[in-house]
Amino acid sequence: MRLLLFDIDGTLVDALGAGKAALGRAMLRVYGETGPIESFEFHGKTDPAIVRGLLRAAGWSDADIEGGFEATWSAYLEALDDELEQRDGSVKTFPGVEPLLRAVEADARFAPGLVTGNMESGASLKLGAAGLDRRFRYGAFGSDSETRDDLPPIALDRAERAYGQSFDLGAAVIVGDTPDDIRCARANGARVLAVSTGRHTVQELREHGPDAVFENLSDTPDVLRMLTDE
């Protein structure tokens, strides 16, 4: 079986800015400011890395930033729930995501899971809002490590426990929408399918040397061919 490690934002789900809005509300409550939240590049970063980056840019020390983490995550979850509720019915999966997930779930060659910068509980809320709750048996999250590159081995451990067999990151495929997903795959010896449903164009993604780039995941047979390639 091969691990398929899906990113969430920009890859599976368009949360319509709910995450950013919620994080801004949480940071205002806990730190009293959001740093340069409008110009900051969120995509591809873990939630803790986003908060740290925003506050460092505003001159905060790492100790003061970390001191607010716990309160931030609980404020964030509450705000995210509310932001998703406000977008009720509009938060969607990108084209082709549903049929692709159905195909890989029904295919014994694949073990589909998550590698995402979202806090685990935030990931559940976003997936739930897009109708994808409880679709993944394992994952690694921003709540496991602030550094995205640390996440695939954590996902592998959890997959081994969930499926009761061993896996190889060298045979895994990361599916993501940013240069950070591509770098994360390379750092872990995994293959990577990039998709331009997030902020980056096919051309921009191609410059980072993914194994394949798709505009979206709607051509299921073509995507499956890439995912099964040796």
Q: Which is nearer to Mg ion, 9 or 83 (CB)?
A: 9
Residue number closest to Mg ion, CB atom: 10
By CB under 5 A, tell whether 139 contacts Mg ion: no
Kindly identify the residues of this chain, within the stretch 6-25, that bind Mg ion according to CB under 5 A.
7, 9-10
Residue 182, amino acid: I
Total residues contacting Mg ion by CB under 5 A comes to 4
CB of 181 to Mg ion, least distance (A): 6
Q: Quick check: 136 and 123 in contact, CB under 8 A?
A: no
Q: What angle do CA 93, 99, 103 make, to 5 degrees?
A: 130
Q: In Å, what is the CA distance from 92 to each residue of 12, 48, 84, 88, 109?
A: 8, 25, 11, 10, 27
> Which segment (31-39, 73-81, 128-136, 175-183) binds Mg ion by CB under 5 A?
175-183
Q: Which residues contact 164 (CB under 8 A, 6 or more apart)?
A: none
Q: Which is nearer to Mg ion, 31 or 94 (CB)?
A: 94
Q: Which is nearer to Mg ion, 74 or 201 (CB)?
A: 201
By CB under 5 A, tell whether 177 contacts Mg ion: yes
CB of 153 to Mg ion, least distance (A): 19
CB of 155 to Mg ion, least distance (A): 15
CB of 180 to Mg ion, least distance (A): 8
Q: What angle do CA 76, 77, 79 make, to 5 degrees?
A: 65
Side-chain half-sphere CA neighbours of 76 within 13 A? 26
Q: Quick check: 126 and 8 in contact, CB under 8 A?
A: yes
By CB under 5 A, tell whether 180 contacts Mg ion: no
Interacting residue ranges for Mg ion, rule: CB under 5 A: 7, 9-10, 177
